[in-house]
Amino acid sequence: MKNKGFIFDLDGVIVDTAKYHYLAWKNLANELGFDITPEQNELLKGVSRIRSLETILEWGGVKLSESEFNGHLVKKNEEYLSYIEGMSEDEILPDVTKILAYLVDAKQPIALGSASKNARPILAKVNLLEKFDTIVDGNDVTKAKPDPEVFLNAAKNLNMDPENCIVFEDSVAGVTAANSANMISIGIGDKEVLGHADHVFKDFTEIEIDFIKELVTT
Ligand code: B16
Ligand code: MG
């Protein structure tokens, strides 16, 4: 069987940590005297921590000094990590484990390509750390998605050419990053939102093993 590199985003693809980001960002906004909506939270998916706070402050019309800004970032992350602490395997999104097990069994190289700086502790919590041959996260890149850096680094670590890599992504910026990296993009979510992906599925329960087999062999 030919080898392909399979690169997974984390939040929105493997686990739904967006709900924990939302709780922590909402509390931060409330402390500063405004609120953020679930719709606004959607816009923060796949966006780096710093850019997320800049965006939230713009929404609230709040300006902070550099030290206040950094203090809020640290506090938000501490609260977020306290939610992560309570995570378990039960929070892996449906059929993700099945697809990963197939890929491991078929000896296909697997990478994580996430904007999160907390990717390792999250994967450890849900017991998936050892499934990945390489992890490229927010600590390893200088340019955030839609820049392809995170996926290109993942391909390099897997020793695979970008055109032989397949990316699973739930965010608009992530699909754009995969496309710019010259990889096959598989959107996980809404077809209306991720129409620029090569393929779109609502979630992994819609992906047949035969589809994965075809990706491996073509
Ligand atoms: P952290 P992904 C992204 O994860 C999240 O979607 C985004 O909401 C978050 O701000 C970003 O990670 C940074 O996360 O604060 O943990 O470093 O979708 O790229 O896996
Ligand atoms: Mg994501």
Instruction: Supply the CATH number for residue 172's domain.
Output: 3.40.50.1000
98 C-beta closer than 6 A to ligand 1: no
Provide the number of structural domains found in the chain: 2
Sign of CA dihedral 176, 177, 182, 183: negative
Q: Who surrounds ion ligand 2 at CB < 5 A?
A: 9, 11-12, 46, 170-171
Please tell me whether residues 183 and 94 are part of one structural domain: yes
Q: What CATH number is attached to the domain comprising 57?
A: 1.10.150.240
Q: Which atom of ligand 1 is nearest to the CA of 44?
A: 8
Shared domain check, 31 and 12: no
Q: Of 26, 56, 84, which one is at a domain's C-terminal end?
A: 84
The residue whose CA has the least distance to atom 13 of ligand 1 is: 116
Kindly report the pTM of this predicted structure. 0.95
pLDDT in tens, 153-195: 999 999 999 999 999 999 999 999 999 999 999 999 999 999 9
d(CA 112, CA 152): 11
**Domain shared by 138 and 75, yes or no:** no
Please check whether residue 204 is in contact with residue 186, taking contact to mean a CB–CB distance below 8 angstroms: no
pLDDT digits (tens, 9 = 90+) for 34-90: 999 999 998 998 899 999 999 999 999 999 999 999 999 999 999 999 999 999 999
pLDDT tens readout for residues 86-130: 999 999 999 999 999 999 999 999 999 999 999 999 999 999 999
Backbone conformation region of residue 32, classed left if phi is above 0, alpha if psi is from -120 to 50, else beta: alpha
Considering the domain architecture, whether residues 110 and 29 belong to the same structural domain is answered as no
C-alpha–C-alpha distance, residues 126 and 140, integer Å: 22
Whole domain around residue 194: which residue ranges? 5-16+90-217
* Centre of ligand 1 from the C-alpha of residue 137, in Å: 9
SS3 of 72, please?
helix
Looking at residue 17, its pLDDT comes to 96
